[in-house]
Structure 1
């Protein structure tokens, strides 16, 4: 599907649209609940976002208010989906509602999703004027870390860790599920030995079929940034914008990639035992990394450019966001099933099955 010139103009300018009651109601109804049959057509009023590269760097979610749609494909299963996103504006918040399907094809031949991707209705409130807090808030497995403009959430942490005496431990002593975020050796989903079955977009599915990113989505921005750097591609749970990888460095007078302030620890882990995996600090576990403040970004993977704080996608840990510099909105807490509060058991990731080929 190709973008019309009017659609691309809307995507690039991201003008605030005026919804009709009927059009908005139709979108909300089509995204309500978990669907057993996939939507077959994009809403007539929706902007076609398929494979779009954004340009706007505005930190106000109101500048992205619109209805968006994309016709995409689950490559491995040869199934077609219609991605649907709605962004509405209130005085203090924007509400982003989506059916959790990305604006790009997904589940490529190298991926091994543990569960099939499904349409899952989700809604998030994004603060329009977030404030920096005196203390950072750590990531939790029970909370999504952010939401991309294409309606796909960010979920950085895994529930895999080193537990060699557990029944399901692999050769490295890691188990795929059941670990809390404060585990001593928590597996990094994008580490060299993670085995998370992610696709080319660093994404896979939750047990309920909801698609989510663990790092660079390889979508919404590219390696050809504008004069001011990469666009806003999403918003963290605290309301601050998430940018692509590039920013304008005022000191060097050039656009360049933002560099993480984390580095791998030197030397080796403690000798392998029931409490330590041993071996080199190679990035398998998030505890292999330490904040050295040697890059551009702070411990949460953010910085202030031209007076605006935001998080940046990086090529190394922590990938997008490592903590919140503001206060997360409660709407980002996970809810699995109608009226169910998040719990540790049903918000964990699990490793994919072994391939059948």
Structure 2
């Protein structure tokens, strides 16, 4: 039996008019669509069903660096109510990290690779030195060829809607069931009365130069590729999964939680727990602004989307 937990359930926000660009999408144009998201619980899962439309203003799509139009998606995510901690961090590539409270997915990696060598370590970053690439807007988001609007970093518009600028605010749920927060948290993780500060990741640029020739792009490590970075335990506030254990406003007894940060990795690249299969990608990457259909996250939900074709079914 489901317990209704409707959150942000039909937010009356209309996106600015978007010109049609002729690309195939999986739902109607978002020119007049509003955010729809419903959260319910079962005995084991938190179910988030959404039309994928954000509840805040976006950049212009199609636009420079991203030729795709935002469209309604109709997706369903299943999140464990009781997270199971993994024996060691799990590489999150091939999954969506999670879903924001407005029903918009949070992606880990892009679909762009050096020399088009998909599956290599030379995966291009969507944000380099704090600046968005690949058509990202002010919310660190862009659009897949499917029409799916999605985040690659701090969702600034959502945080503003939640009134969370400079506050510790939950912005979503990860695929393994742990909560996701914006960049600010208590300076002492176990003291809710301590100062709220911006969290610092524990990653740094590698020194030296990349391999060249047929094995890599060459040149100095400058943040263009995920492999330009390395984890240095204790360097910042957060662990390898860009998270930590602590008290939060929603979890006064403490929990493990993830943090979206304003410097690399921006979005966690490893899961602390076991991710649900509904966040699994079919094809890898986020589809990218210039890629073909990467497959769907989630499954058809209550908003009426027909099932995906067989090759994309879970």
The answer for unaligned runs of 5 or more in structure 1 is 1-16, 20-61, 164-174, 335-341, 353-357
Aligned to 2:140: 202
Change (3 A) 1:190 1:65: same
Aligned to 2:122: 185
Change (3 A) 1:248 1:226: farther
- The separation in 2 between residues aligned to 1:18 and 1:308, in whole angstroms, is 23
Change (3 A) 1:156 1:226: closer
Deviations 1:208-228 (A, max 9, x none): 11111111111232598599x
Aligned to 2:216: 276
Q: Conserved in 2, the CA contact under 8 Å of 1:74 and 1:107?
A: no
Equivalent residues in 2 for 1:153-172 (5 A)? 153-163=105-115
Shift of 1:202: 1.2
Deviations 1:236-292 (A, max 9, x none): 11110000111112289311011100011122223x422222222110001110001
Equivalent residues in 2 for 1:312-323 (5 A)? 312-323=259-270
Change (3 A) 1:68 1:89: farther
Shift of 1:305: 1.0
Segment drifting more, 72-81 vs 146-155: 72-81
- Give the aligned length: 267
Q: Conserved in 2, the CA contact under 8 Å of 1:195 and 1:351?
A: no
Deviations 1:119-173 (A, max 9, x none): 01000112222132212211123x211000000001120121112xxxxxxxxxx
Tell which has more relative contact order, 1 or 2 (C-alpha 8 A, sep 6+): 2
Change (3 A) 1:147 1:225: closer
- The separation in 1 between residues aligned to 2:8 and 2:53, in whole angstroms, is 17
In the superposition, the TM-score normalised over structure 2's length comes to 0.76
- The separation in 1 between residues aligned to 2:267 and 2:230, in whole angstroms, is 16
Aligned to 2:312: none
Larger radius of gyration: 1
Change (3 A) 1:347 1:305: closer
In the superposition, the TM-score normalised over structure 1's length comes to 0.68
Aligned to 1:211: 149
